[in-house]
Structure formats: C-alpha cells, structure tokens
Amino acid sequence: LGAEVLGIGIQPDGININKDCGSTHLDKLSKIVIDEKCDLGIAFDGDGDRMLAIDGKGNQIDGDVIMAVIALDMKKRNVLKDDTLVVTVMSNMGLDIFAKNNGIILSKTKVGDRYVLERMMERDFKIGGEQSGHVILTDYSTTGDGMLSALMLLDVLKRNNESLSEASKIMKVLPQVLKGIRVKNEMKIAALSDNEVLEECNRIEKKLEGKGRILVRASGTEPLIRVMLEGEDIGEITKMCDDVINIISQKYLA
C-alpha cells in the first residue's frame, strides 16, 4: 500500500513467541518509533488477534482508544449501526465520557470477546472489542484480527489526514488500577457478596462522585478476585483498591 515499514520481532523460531516484543512488551517498539521518527507503531500479540499501537511520540494507545477512533469515523460516515459500540465492563471510564460527548451508545457486556461477539450478532452491531486490543469488525470478520484492526486504524488516519497522536486526543484515558487476590474457588461468590466488601465499595463510589468507578469481579478461569479502580488521582485510587483487597484477604485469602 506504499507505506515504509520497519519490522521487529519477526523472526520466530517456534519458542520465542512474545519474547520482548508484541502487544505485551511495547517498550522496544516505542523506542524505535521515536528513534526512527515513525508515524506510528503497531504491535500484535502471539496469535495475532489483538493489536495495540504506539503514536509518533512513543505513547501507548490501547484498545479503547483505537475503538473510539474507528467508531467515531464510522459514525461520521453513517455506517455505525445504531451509533453503537460494543465493549466490556472493563473498558476505561474515559470511553464512556467520549461516547457521551460524541453521541455514541456503549453496549456493555461481561469480560470476554465471546460475549462481545454475541451482543454484536444479536443486533448486527458493526464494531466491538476490549481494552486489550481485541477488536471485532463484523463487516469483515467474526473474530478479532490484529492485522484487520491495524488496517482499519490506518485507513481512518489516512482518510482524515491525521496522526495517531492527534486522533487519539478524542478520548482521555482515566488512570486505572487493577489488582487481583487469590481466593479458594468455592469462596469467590461469598467474597463478592460479602457485606463488608459491598459497604466499602459503596463508600468508594460515593467518594469518587461520578468521576471514577470501582469494579470487583471474579475471574472466570482462575481462583482470583479482581479489583479495578478508575479515577483522576492515581494515588487515591491505589489506596482505595488496596483497602478492598485487604478486606477480602482477611476473610477469603487462599
């Protein structure tokens, strides 16, 4: 397509999958983008279904921002079905603010791309995905495809004559803290419905005053409870997260 492409981490030997490269290790890509004065960097995960990006200034651009950029362009071209973007409950609150400001509806599902796809197929929605960079574009595919997501992002930037740095300004990512605590599998439901845990979560919600949120959920695959906080002050939300973790650990630590 006429782009000048520099490739890194492209010599697989069967055992070096994701080694210091890809969407789980972005530092090297960020440095090369800056050193080589690239317009942007694109990182895939090991099996190629996820994609994250680096803007020309070396900043990491996650799946929420990538979806926001593509969805807003689709809305402007009147191809965003029901002005709706499908995301999971783990998407950053900054995406909610972006959506509200731009007349886009967020349809939220449980965590997992399978739930995103189910919602999309139910209503024929055109775009959905996860903060991790797993984006589904049902006009072309019914699964995440990192290369497809990259091409869609590049198409938007090229058509609007924008850099990724400029385009990503449409959404402000709120600071986020995510911590997990190991509990016995049979105790996960009890921990989530514990009165002391619920009271602490309610206290935190009130203190955040709509400028942040707390989400406590059980892992579907591991004996873990995950606590996620978003807000404007990283120090404050880190302490709040630790307070909830401490309550759970006193009663349910595996």
pLDDT in tens, 197-230: 999 999 999 999 888 999 999 987 888 999 999 9
Residue 254 confidence (pLDDT) above 80: no
Do 184 and 249 form a contact (C-beta atoms < 8 A)? no
Distance in angstroms (rounded) separating the CA atoms of residues 164 and 153 = 9
Nearest to 128 by CA among 85, 88, 73, 70: 85
Q: Which residue, chain included where needed, has tokens 């349910």?
A: 252
- pTM for this predicted structure: 0.88
Distance in angstroms (rounded) separating the CA atoms of residues 29 and 7 = 10
For residue 253, what pLDDT is reported?
87
Distance in angstroms (rounded) separating the CA atoms of residues 222 and 42 = 30
Band of residue 110 on the pLDDT scale cut at 50, 70, 90: very high
For residue 26, what pLDDT is reported?
95
Distance in angstroms (rounded) separating the CA atoms of residues 197 and 193 = 7
